[in-house]
Structure 1
Amino acid sequence: MIFQIGSALLDACVLSVLEREDMYGYILTQNVKEVVDISESTLYPVLRRLQKEAYLVTYDQPFAGRNRRYYQITDKGREQLAMYRKEWIAYKSNIDRILTGEEKQ
């Protein structure tokens, strides 16, 4: 995709994926990569920031002799995601209007 993704939109994508279920980093990256070109090295600072803002918490689960760190959305993260969704609807509507040449209602 040629369009750049901003940090707020990336945050919204991560929170949205985690709203469905808890995930560990690699699987989370694969889910986000389905719609956004992102690497694990880009995603982990995002996860740390979201955790610092209390939008996510982590927990470890043993797997094949090691621990996997899982990410889980918090209630505060759900509230933030709801705000992102509301903002996205308005933003998308405005961009669609400009790109399609529609008149403002």
Structure 2
Amino acid sequence: MSDANEQFAGLRKGLLEFAILTVVSGRTVYVGDILATLAPTPFATQEGTLYPLLSKLRREEYVDYQWVESGQGPPRKYYQLTDKGAARLEELAAYWRHLTTTFENLGR
């Protein structure tokens, strides 16, 4: 990992929830889908990080899951955004827009 990546690790970690809710908002996904979507981004992560965060998001009622049989192995948990999760995602997006505007205005 480069020095720049290490410098911003805390920022990325703080934004990971936002990134996951964004991924889950587009479709019903299983962990492999989430990992593959995040892999080419600065939010690339591993199962050991993702599963606890998904459990936290489920406890907070932002995501839910359903078991789906797989023709390629055991059943899989497919995650989807709840109504409460959609509201949380909109709050995060609105706050992100506010921060962006704030930083743009600071430089003027």
Structure 2 residues without counterparts, runs of 5 or longer? none
Give the share of equivalent positions with the same residue, in percent.
26
Distance 1:26 1:63 in 2: 13
Cα RMSD for the two superposed structures:
1.7
Q: 1:31 — aligned with what?
A: 37
8 Å contact from structure 2 (residues 35, 44) kept in 1: no
1:58-73 equivalences under 5 Å are: 58-64=65-71, 65-73=73-81
Mind listing any 5+ residue stretches in structure 1 that lack a counterpart? Answer: none
Give me the TM-score of the superposition, normalised by structure 2. 0.81
TM-score (norm 1): 0.83
The residue correspondences of 1:1-105 to structure 2 (distance < 5 A) are 2=5, 3-4=8-9, 5-7=12-14, 9-35=15-41, 36-64=43-71, 65-96=73-104, 102-103=107-108
Cα displacement (A) at 1:33: 2.4
C-alpha distance in structure 2 between counterparts of 1:37 and 1:58, whole Å: 22
Please list the CA deviations of residues 45-102 of structure 1 after superposition, one character each: whole Å capped at 9, or x if unmatched: 110000000001110111124201111100000000000000111223334555xxx2
- Summarize the Cα distance change of 1:97–1:29 in structure 2 as closer, same or farther, 3 Å threshold: farther
Deviations 1:9-31 (Å, cap 9, x if unpaired)? 21111111111101011111111
